[in-house]
């Protein structure tokens, strides 16, 4: 896969670095986790491979990256006061769950896929994920 994110720079793909796009890090983490689940964990577990394949070819993000996102976001003073932790208790990370994948992909550069379908010799392919998605 080649994912070109909307409104990003090179450092947006490095978790923890300053970002120009509030969703860049989370989207990069989403695809990284799904890819590793598909081709590493999925090598030994067909159910994991199928689940990860579903995330890689989805048209809408799930919460798999949101569950790991602790950094970028905003600080909510009410949440901090309610938590009793004035420093970290108010952290509200940006989330991508239920957001259309096409909304996070570049309108200038095409994102592409050519990945194996678990349990078959088929491939999911697309030369423009934003326009057509990634389907077998």
Question: Strand 123-126 vs strand 113-116: parallel, antiparallel, or unpaired?
Answer: antiparallel
Question: Look-up: residue for tokens 């909304």?
Answer: 103
* H/E element, 30: helix 24-39
DSSP letter, residue 21: S
Q: Whole-prediction pTM value?
A: 0.85
Evaluate whether 42 touches 48 at the Cβ level (below 8 Å): yes
71 vs 100: CA distance, rounded Å: 22
Beta-bridged to residue 76, according to DSSP, are none
For residue 55, the SS3 value is helix
Tokens linked to 51: 């689940």
Per-residue pLDDT of the chain (136 residues; tens, 9 = 90+): 999 988 876 666 665 556 567 788 889 889 999 999 999 998 899 999 999 999 999 999 999 999 887 777 888 999 899 999 888 888 888 899 999 999 999 999 999 999 999 999 999 999 999 999 998 7
C-alpha distance from residue 87 to each of 34, 50, 67, 83, 91 (Å): 31, 40, 20, 10, 8
């Amino acid at each position: 896969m080649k994912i070109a994110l909307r409104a990003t720079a090179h450092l947006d793909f490095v978790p923890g670095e300053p970002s120009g796009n509030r969703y860049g890090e989370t989207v990069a983490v989403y695809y990284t986790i799904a890819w590793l689940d598909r081709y590493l964990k999925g090598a030994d577990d067909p159910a994991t491979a199928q689940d990860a394949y579903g995330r890689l070819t989805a048209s809408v993000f799930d919460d798999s990256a949101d569950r790991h996102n602790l950094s970028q976001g905003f600080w909510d003073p009410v949440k901090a006061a309610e938590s009793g932790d004035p420093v970290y208790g108010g952290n509200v990370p940006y989330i991508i769950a239920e957001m259309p994948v096409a909304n996070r992909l570049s309108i200038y550069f095409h994102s592409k896929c050519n990945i194996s379908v678990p349990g078959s010799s088929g491939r999911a392919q697309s030369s423009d994920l934003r326009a057509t998605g990634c389907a077998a």
